[in-house]
């Protein structure tokens, strides 16, 4: 293993485009879908977001690593990205909370990256050509013939059709207690949260508001969920193609039939869409970053949101419609992305269920959408009483 600044590296896209730089993190080779994230801050939260599993993340912000990394800001138990692409990696970390450099963390977790390339040119290319299969090759691997590397990338797995949520989920359930996050009274409600790639901040946001959260694995059954006697049911964000999540779709349909209040985030939004009978589709380059504008149609307010999704729900944006599975009644698209009119939220009018495509827990921000946790708590308490 060589230090990141000392060996050549090459980023290869499946359409034959090539970017040369030097290695960052561990030296070697890695394959994944090239995607870009527009966040100016929060690179540690990005790296540890399980929704990035299988993806090589390009940071559009030019300076990465300035504040180092620490043990508090990770959103899960490890870094999940398949590879990491930056323009100017910080030569030193400078922040009072920093415990080690990002470079050291990437090496320690065996993450292969590349630095010193024109990430603006790369982002513009991905915006026009779309997210695509890619590979980072450094050290000896960077000296292989380009044609050979392009062929290897072309033969790698596509994101469409990939089933990844189970691979990032926990193995056994755990509970997040409100008292551990400053709540002094008895819990006001209990929810079961299915971990499809959940971020640590999500159960914390519930706990801060007095909700006990049982976080359970992706393959949890309806009987196991009912054993907790929950006031509500939650499905998290996660990686991969929602068209592969048949087990979770069937589970959610059973929950909806029982009239248990439901809230979903990101992958959970896509699963609600599918459970109601709508389809999903792959976006050209997706939405990733912490500056995505969304209209809340209920209030007319525009929120700046944190997002990380490459797939979306195919549902009518205007008006109300009967769910394709008619027993679930009337449904409306509650939130819309203002850049491209993509469905960013669904609200059921005849059953207690809603979801959003973005991340209201928002570490590292913004916090415009925090009200959604309160909206779900209100929905649970209404049904409870």
Active site residue 266: yes
361 is an active site residue: yes
Q: Alpha helix (H) ranges present in the chain?
A: 43-47, 102-108, 119-129, 146-154, 165-168, 201-208, 222-226, 246-257, 267-275, 371-384
- C-alpha dist (Å) from residue 338 to 291, 292, 295, 303: 11, 8, 7, 10
What are 55's strand-pairing partners? 33
List the structure tokens of 124: 């513009």
> 301-314 and 279-296: which strand pairing?
antiparallel
In sequence order, the β-bridge partners of residue 348 are 331
- Residue 225's nearest CA partner among 192, 258, 253 is 192
Is residue 204 within 8 Å of residue 176, measured between CB atoms? yes
Nearest to residue 265, comparing CAs of 356, 331, 336, 201? Answer: 356
Contact 22, 47 (CB under 8 A): no
User: What number of CA atoms fall less than 13 Å from residue 213's CA on the CB side?
Assistant: 29
Q: Cis peptide leading into 366, omega within 30 of 0?
A: yes
Rounded CA gap, 266 and 239, in Å?
A: 10
CB 134 within 8 A of CB 14: yes
Q: Please tell me whether residue 240 adopts helix, strand or coil conformation.
A: coil
Rounded Cα gap, residues 301 and 216, in angstroms:
34
CA distance 145 to 245: 38
Cis peptide before 364 (omega within 30 of 0): yes
Among the listed residues 14, 266, 303, 348, the single catalytic one is 266
Catalytically active residues, by annotation: 266, 359, 361
């Amino acid at each position: 293993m060589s230090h990141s600044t000392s060996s050549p590296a090459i980023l290869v896209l499946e359409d034959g485009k090539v970017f040369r730089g030097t290695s960052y993190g561990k030296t070697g080779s890695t394959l994944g879908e090239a995607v870009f994230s527009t966040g100016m801050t929060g690179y540690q939260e990005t790296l540890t977001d399980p929704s990035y599993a299988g993806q090589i993340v390009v940071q559009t912000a030019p300076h990465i690593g300035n504040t180092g990394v620490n043990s508090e800001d990770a959103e899960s138990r490890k870094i999940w990205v398949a590879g990491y692409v930056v323009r100017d990696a910080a030569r030193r970390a400078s922040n009072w909370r920093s415990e080690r450099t990002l470079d050291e963390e990437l090496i320690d977790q065996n993450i292969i990256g590349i630095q010193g390339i024109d990430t603006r040119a790369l982002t513009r290319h991905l915006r026009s050509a779309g997210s695509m299969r890619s590979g980072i090759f450094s050290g000896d691997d960077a000296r292989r013939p380009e044609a050979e590397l392009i062929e290897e990338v072309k033969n790698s797995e596509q994101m469409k059709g990939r089933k990844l949520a189970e691979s990032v989920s926990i193995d056994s359930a755990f509970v997040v207690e409100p008292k551990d996050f400053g709540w002094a009274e008895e819990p006001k409600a209990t929810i079961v949260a299915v971990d499809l790639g959940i971020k640590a901040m999500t159960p914390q946001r519930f706990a801060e508001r007095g909700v006990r959260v049982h976080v359970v694995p992706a393959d949890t059954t309806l009987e196991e969920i009912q054993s907790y006697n929950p006031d509500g049911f939650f499905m998290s964000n996660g990686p991969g193609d929602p068209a592969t999540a048949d087990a979770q779709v069937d589970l959610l349909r059973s929950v909806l039939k029982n009239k248990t209040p439901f809230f979903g985030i990101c992958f959970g939004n896509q699963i609600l869409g599918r459970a109601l009978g709508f389809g999903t589709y792959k976006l050209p380059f997706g939405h990733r970053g912490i500056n995505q504008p969304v209209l809340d149609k209920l209030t007319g307010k525009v929120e700046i949101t944190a997002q990380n999704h490459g797939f979306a729900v195919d549902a009518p944006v205007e008006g109300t419609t009967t769910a394709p599975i008619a027993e679930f009644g009337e449904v409306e698209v509650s939130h819309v992305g203002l850049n491209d009119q993509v469905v960013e939220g669904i609200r059921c009018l005849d059953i207690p269920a809603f979801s959003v495509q973005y991340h209201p827990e928002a570490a590292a921000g913004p916090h415009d959408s925090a009200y959604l946790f309160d909206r779900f708590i209100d929905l649970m308490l209404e049904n409870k009483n």
